[in-house]
Amino acid sequence: MTDYAKIALTGTYSKDSTYTPAKVFMEPADYAVTPDEWMHLEVQADTGSTTVTTSHLASATALVVKNNDTTNYVTAKFYSAANSSTLNQVQVAAGGFLVITDFTVASNLALVANSAAVECEVLIFGS
């Protein structure tokens, strides 16, 4: 049985809080994958670093990190196939999210909160 996953994004910019009329509207094509496996985790990222073990997967086609905190950012540290020798570091703002499609599962994901522990959701599609 095949599983399906889709990440859809829409964006609207307007000078009115009702978003009417929209000055800019963006709705790119959905990013669709057919993963064999997926992981959904709720993780507390600590200031000293929290490791999310991904090495049991053979590969990943998408990684989503959602920062559920309302005040503090979290830094996601990961390696990618295109940049395997360099540690990538991305700050995810409070309430924000990170979506990437180039993530190396052999090197685990690390989440580091900036000044206090941060609750995050992690979603990984892979095989």
25: in domain: no
Summarised one tens digit per residue, pLDDT across range 1-54 is 567 777 777 777 788 888 777 777 777 777 787 788 888 999 999 999 999 999
The first and second tokens of residue 48, run together, are: 């000293």
22: in domain: no
3-state helix, strand, coil in the chain (%, to 5): 0, 55, 45
DSSP string, 21-79: S-SEEE-PPPEEE--SEEEEEEEEE-TT-EEE--TTSS-EEEEEEEE--SS--EEEEEE
67: in domain: yes
Beta bridge partner(s), residue 55 = none
78: in domain: yes
The mean pLDDT of 46-66, rounded to a whole number, is 92
Summarised one tens digit per residue, pLDDT across range 78-114 is 998 887 788 999 999 999 999 998 888 888 999 999 9
3: in domain: no
23: in domain: no
64: in domain: yes
Beta bridge partner(s), residue 33 = 5
Predicted structure pTM score: 0.80
Residue 9 has φ and ψ, to the nearest 5°, of -135, 135
Count: domains in the chain:
1
40: in domain: yes
The first and second tokens of residue 75, run together, are: 């830094």
Domain containing residue 61: CATH number? 2.60.120.10
Say how far apart CA 59 and CA 46 lie, in whole Å. 26
Q: Which domain holds residue 85?
A: 33-126
Say how far apart CA 113 and CA 111 lie, in whole Å. 7
